[in-house]
């Protein structure tokens, strides 16, 4: 395909950020950022409309020389695994702008520029087919996210931003060393597809597996390198939390799918039991921590640790149902948890408190808000008919097939999820009406409803008719599993 669709998708937000520099009116900046993100979403929809679900091959590929002396190219392309995440990033981009419309009232230009640059870099991560280019996009995401938390966050924003930066930078440095080792052992090329075709010795695979594991585990985040996440979420503005939960965490799991499994298949199979145990630990531990929270944002943040545990469990089950469920659950988590952070932000704008103890009877004061909150709460619980049920069912099916004890632990995590989510909804929406006496509550307005409705549509669409989404990833999942089992001696 001669038309550079992926370059347009990746760099449209960056071009919009450059245009914002010349604007003076805050309102014009908001509308421009919204227009740019809507255009980017339209390009993502065009990409999905033209996507061929029958092949596992990379599509919409673009390759141009960049640093020929080192074998570095500007190479973009997507397959079924990355296509969903490109679309998810485009979907959440304009919702982040709407969520920041009133909440961000200072340094609006700088915030919208950071938001657009962040979107461009995340899209680049999912589209890059050159390892060096991937690393540039991967590492550069630290800067706008650090600014979003550190400049527009809450009272503890500086500590949270530094913690986020140091954790992720430490992981990225190990990733860089791994990239260099892979370059020299893989024929001195950064071509991701060429590196995937290499047959590395097990000793090299094992070393690279743990180097990549630390880098990706920090991003996911997996226990015990998860402690930066609650601080970052609590201090980040609403849009920052949506980006973190919706897309940034997926970059870690995507790293396992794009690098660990296909490039290090023998090590991935060898250490799969370790990964399953770490995943089960994250599911249960994250659920227990969420159960103990009174702060709404902390509860959703710890629930993310538990839910991303299901993702890594599905990936390292190394069977078709688990892997397909893990990838679908990555998309579902972006939609559902992104929506929950949006709802926490909306109520915080009205009350300036996140303590569940301060609420009660919100259903009477804001019936539309609490109705949609119920939908996303049930989705997070994986109730049948919602998106998360499909993904979680596939993950549990694959998990039990891989390891009975790990599957049982995951079921315990699902039960904990029901406990803390239903407890949260009861405290916030039901019970005696105390919220009206303490706060002036209004229901959602048209702008807020515009941000909520698309997420609600995907909760029900994936829950009731998941076939189009599974079709996108099917061929790529089968090919990835064939690679792992052929080279790594998997199941």
Q: What is the pLDDT, as a whole number, of residue 155?
A: 85
**Does residue 185 sit in helix, strand or coil?**
helix
Confidence of residue 437 (pLDDT cuts 50, 70, 90): low
Q: How far apart are the first and last CA of the chain?
A: 37
Q: Which residues pair with 78 in a beta bridge?
A: 59
Confidence band of 273 (pLDDT split at 50, 70, 90): very high
Give the pLDDT confidence score for residue 468 in this predicted structure: 94
Task: Quote the pLDDT of residue 84.
Answer: 94
Cis peptide before 76 (omega within 30 of 0): no
> Contact 486/271 with Cβ under 8 angstroms?
no
Tell me the percentage of the chain whose pLDDT exceeds 90: 70
Q: Are 141 and 122 in contact (CB under 8 A)?
A: yes
Q: H-helix or E-strand containing 72?
A: strand 72-78
Q: What is the pLDDT of residues 190-203, one digit of tens each?
A: 999 999 988 889 99
pTM (predicted TM-score): 0.93
At 440, the pLDDT band (50, 70, 90 cuts) reads: confident
Share of the chain above pLDDT 70, in %: 97
Q: Of 80, 76, 75, which is closest to residue 56 (Cα–Cα)?
A: 80
> Which two structure tokens, joined as six digits, stand for 412?
């315990």
Give tens-digit pLDDT for 249-268. Answer: 899 999 999 999 999 999 99
Where exactly are the structural domains of the chain? 271-491
Residue 489 is predicted with a pLDDT of 63
Q: Among the listed ranges 213-217, 229-233, 318-322, which one has the minimum average pLDDT value? A: 229-233
Q: How many CB atoms lie within 10 A of CB 199?
A: 9
458-481 residue pLDDT tens: 999 999 999 999 999 999 999 999
Containing 67, the helix (H) or strand (E) segment is strand 59-67
Does residue 466 sit in helix, strand or coil? coil
Q: Please indicate whether residue 435 or residue 349 has the higher confidence score (pLDDT).
A: 349
Q: Contact at 8 Å (CB) between 303 and 286?
A: yes
The total of other beta-carbon atoms located within 10 Å of residue 281's CB is 17
355 pLDDT tier (thresholds 50, 70, 90): confident
Quote the tokens at residue 192. 């991701």
Does the structure show a pLDDT above 60 at 436? no
Count of beta carbons in the 10 Å neighbourhood of residue 336 = 32
Q: How many CA atoms lie within 13 A of 110 on its CB side?
A: 13
Tell which residue, 67, 64, 86, has the closest CA to residue 75: 64
**With contact defined as beta carbons under 8 Å apart, do 60 and 6 qualify?**
yes
- Checking if the pLDDT of 288 tops 70, the result is yes
- Cα–Cα distance between 102 and 30 in angstroms, integer? 10
Q: Tokens for 240?
A: 């920052």
Angle (CA) 173-110-447 rounded to 5° is 110
| CA–CA distance, 206 with 212 (Å, rounded to integer) | 10
The answer to whether 244 touches 305, Cβ cutoff 8 Å, is: no
pLDDT digits (tens, 9 = 90+) for 308-330: 999 999 999 999 999 999 999 99
Within 13 A of 472's CA, how many CA atoms are on the CB side?
24
How many of the other CB atoms lie within 10 Å of CB of 24?
Answer: 7
pLDDT of residue 186: 80
Task: Name the average pLDDT for the chain.
Answer: 91
CA 369 to CA 348: how far, in whole Å?
13
Instruction: List for the chain the helix, strand, coil content (%; round to 5).
Output: 75, 5, 20
Question: Pairing state of beta strands 72-78 and 59-67?
Answer: antiparallel
pLDDT tens-place string over residues 118-142: 999 999 999 999 999 999 999 999 9
List the single range of 52-61, 104-113, 358-367, 406-415 with lowest mean pLDDT: 358-367
In this predicted structure, what is the pLDDT of residue 2?
63
User: Quick one: pLDDT at residue 487?
Assistant: 76
**Rounded Cα–Cα distance for residues 232 and 152 (Å):** 12
Q: How confident is the model at residue 154 (pLDDT cuts 50, 70, 90)?
A: confident
């Amino acid at each position: 395909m001669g038309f550079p669709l992926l370059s347009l998708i990746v760099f449209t937000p960056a071009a919009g950020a450059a245009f914002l520099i010349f604007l003076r009116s805050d309102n014009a900046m908001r509308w421009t950022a919204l227009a740019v993100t809507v255009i980017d979403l339209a390009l993502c929809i065009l990409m999905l409309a033209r996507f061929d679900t029958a092949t596992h091959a990379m599509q919409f590929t673009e390759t141009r020389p960049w640093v020929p002396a080192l074998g570095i190219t500007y190479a973009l392309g997507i397959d079924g695994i990355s296509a969903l995440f490109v679309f998810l990033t485009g979907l959440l981009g304009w919702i982040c702008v709407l969520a920041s419309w009133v909440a961000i009232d200072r340094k609006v230009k700088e915030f919208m520029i950071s938001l657009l640059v962040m979107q461009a870099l995340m899209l680049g991560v999912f589209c890059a087919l050159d390892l060096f280019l991937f690393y540039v996009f991967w590492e550069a995401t630290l800067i706008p996210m650090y600014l979003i938390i550190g400049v527009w966050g809450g009272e503890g924003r500086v500590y949270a931003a530094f913690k986020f930066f140091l954790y992720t930078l430490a992981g990225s440095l190990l990733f860089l060393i791994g990239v260099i080792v892979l370059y020299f052992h893989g024929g001195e090329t950064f071509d991701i597809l060429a590196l995937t075709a290499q047959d590395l010795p097990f000793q090299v695979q094992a070393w690279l597996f743990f180097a990549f594991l630390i880098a990706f585990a920090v991003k996911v985040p997996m226990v015990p390198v998860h402690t930066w996440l609650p601080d970052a979420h609590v201090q980040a503005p609403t849009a920052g939390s949506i980006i973190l939960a919706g897309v940034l965490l997926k970059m870690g799991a995507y790293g396992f799918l794009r690098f660990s499994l296909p490039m290090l298949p023998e090590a991935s199979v060898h250490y799969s039991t370790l990964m399953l145990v770490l995943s089960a630990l994250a599911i249960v531990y994250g659920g227990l921590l969420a159960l103990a929270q009174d702060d709404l944002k902390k509860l959703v943040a710890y629930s993310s640790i538990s839910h991303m545990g299901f993702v890594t469990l599905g990936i390292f089950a190394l069977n078709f149902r688990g892997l397909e469920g893990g990838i679908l659950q990555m998309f579902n988590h972006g939609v559902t948890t992104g929506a929950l952070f949006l709802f926490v932000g909306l109520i915080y704008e009205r009350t300036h408190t996140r303590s569940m103890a301060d609420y009660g009877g919100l259903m009477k004061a804001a019936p539309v808000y609490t109705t949609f909150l119920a939908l996303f709460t049930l989705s997070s619980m994986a109730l049948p008919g919602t998106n998360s049920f499909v993904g979680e069912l596939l993950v549990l099916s694959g998990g039990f097939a891989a390891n009975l004890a790990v599957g049982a632990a995951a079921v315990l995590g699902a039960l904990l999820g029901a406990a803390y989510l239903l407890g949260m909804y009861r405290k916030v929406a039901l019970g005696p009406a105390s919220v009206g006496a303490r706060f002036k509550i209004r229901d959602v307005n048209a702008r807020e409803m515009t941000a909520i409705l698309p997420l609600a549509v995907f909760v029900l669409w994936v829950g009731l008719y998941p076939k189009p989404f599974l079709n996108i990833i099917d061929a790529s999942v089968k090919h990835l599993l064939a690679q792992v089992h052929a080279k790594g001696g998997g199941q």
